[in-house]
Structure 1
């Protein structure tokens, strides 16, 4: 199964407005979706921060871009710290949202879990109830494979974005470590691509569809182009993945 992950679109009410690196997030996402379509994915996974200003219009723009792109696949969306959940729920198709489908069951023995880590300000957290529910579900399907999707980063990125952390990530990572059926964790938030193997699980961070962040002690952007992650979930429980970026 081919999963394509996009993240941190940061759309604005004003579609003509530019952000860091003179990137227009609306036009950038439009190009990203056109590129994604060429891969013919089975699932388009959106890991939060669809909006950059939490406006109703930004989600309307997102829905319009999705509709115009005509990507024939399942779509799964979770919120990020910048997202207004009320506007997201009322302006994006309900069937796409984690609220309707917290798990996606795929036909090749894989389950994708859509986790809402939105907490307060830029910080993330996964409630104890959700951690228990995750553990229970994985235990009930322990002979199959699990990919967990969140917005916040559960492992350190080694830079300034670590100040905008997932508060109870140690508890989350303990759940991952104890469950051999969890093969991957994908996330956004840090606007950069990271791949790190921890025991049986690979942790994968996704580039932003707009501006990229540099990994250093203080705020900085990178010259890398907007991008997305392609994830192949194999029938033997293995994951292969690659990063694709716009060329201009």
Structure 2
């Protein structure tokens, strides 16, 4: 692959990871997010064992009629940012035999992820080339904070990647929501510099979609031709439209995306409907 000298983040070279899609006319992706895995296999979030729900989601995913070309995991992969949690995730993703890419959420630790969340199927690359598309994985996590922010180096990385491949449709991924989701308490802990991201998106017509996690619920809105999409957690859900913290009643899930060569995005959320998951609704935080 030709060396890319233009894509730099804080003087660290970002060499695009290239994948040949199974078909030329469509790229198939899956997104799993907000797994909140603990070092302890019995670790629970609001009373729900997060490893059990994560494995149920992954088992549902690998039964898909069309195997994804890549798996995107968009933050809060661990609840305690432990090496044991990331090692467990790395091993599990490897067993799925799908190229997997990750970014950090507010519960994660990027340095620990770099050390333990890597193997022959799991990659730290933040730019992925797939046929007519590129996928950009932006780090919105702020150490010690719940809200998100795209640092200057992330905005530069985004702009350079878009300039480098103006003819490729682009899907942007991050952890924190860059638009309001009509959920008052969550809207206070989203991406605090969303205007900077939105400005870049508006300036580059090849951006077709922006996807994220963090809000533990399904969300989809088209704004000026761009799809803005959130995906449910693989564990506990949050109640849509709530003023204060409130767990939702929906089952764990993930998103499947088809990215077509003409720039169209079609996606669907799948939820686990064959397993009963118990959540303790008396707990008012996580």
1:73 Cα offset (Å): 2.3
Q: Distance in 2 between matches of 1:97 and 1:117?
A: 18
1:91 Cα offset (Å): 1.2
Other structure's SS at 1:203 match: strand
Please name the residue that 1:46 is paired with. 73
Other structure's SS at 2:44 match: coil
Counterparts in 2 of 1:129 and 1:88: CA distance versus 1, 3 Å = closer
How is 1:43-192 mapped onto 2 (pairs within 5 angstroms)? Answer: 43-67=70-94, 70-93=95-118, 96-98=122-124, 101-107=125-131, 109-120=132-143, 121-159=145-183, 160-192=185-217
Q: Distance in 2 between matches of 1:156 and 1:182?
A: 19
Q: Distance in 2 between matches of 1:219 and 1:200?
A: 32
Cα RMSD for the two superposed structures:
1.3
Q: Distance in 2 between matches of 1:79 and 1:132?
A: 18
Q: Distance in 1 between matches of 2:172 and 2:203?
A: 14
Aligned residues: 242
Q: Distance in 2 between matches of 1:97 and 1:218?
A: 36
1:94 Cα offset (Å): 5.6
Q: Distance in 2 between matches of 1:119 and 1:19?
A: 22
Counterparts in 2 of 1:102 and 1:18: CA distance versus 1, 3 Å = closer
**TM-score under structure 1 normalisation?**
0.93
Counterparts in 2 of 1:218 and 1:60: CA distance versus 1, 3 Å = same
Other structure's SS at 1:184 match: strand
Other structure's SS at 1:105 match: strand
Q: Distance in 1 between matches of 2:153 and 2:115?
A: 25
Structure 2: gaps (5+ residues): 1-26, 276-286
Contact (CA 8 Å) 2:50, 2:235: kept in 1 or not?
yes
1:158 Cα offset (Å): 1.4
Q: Distance in 2 between matches of 1:72 and 1:3?
A: 14
Contact (CA 8 Å) 1:145, 1:182: kept in 2 or not?
yes
Larger Rg: 2
Q: Distance in 2 between matches of 1:111 and 1:230?
A: 17
Q: Distance in 1 between matches of 2:89 and 2:97?
A: 16
1:240 Cα offset (Å): 0.2
Name whichever structure is richer in helix by fraction: 1
CA distances 1:107-155 after superposition (whole Å, capped 9, x unpaired): 2x10000111111311211122321231122123222200001001000
Contact (CA 8 Å) 1:51, 1:83: kept in 2 or not?
yes
CA distances 1:148-197 after superposition (whole Å, capped 9, x unpaired): 01001000111111121211111111111111100000100000110010
Q: Distance in 1 between matches of 2:44 and 2:104?
A: 22
Q: Distance in 1 between matches of 2:111 and 2:90?
A: 15
**TM-score under structure 2 normalisation?**
0.81
Structure 1: gaps (5+ residues): none
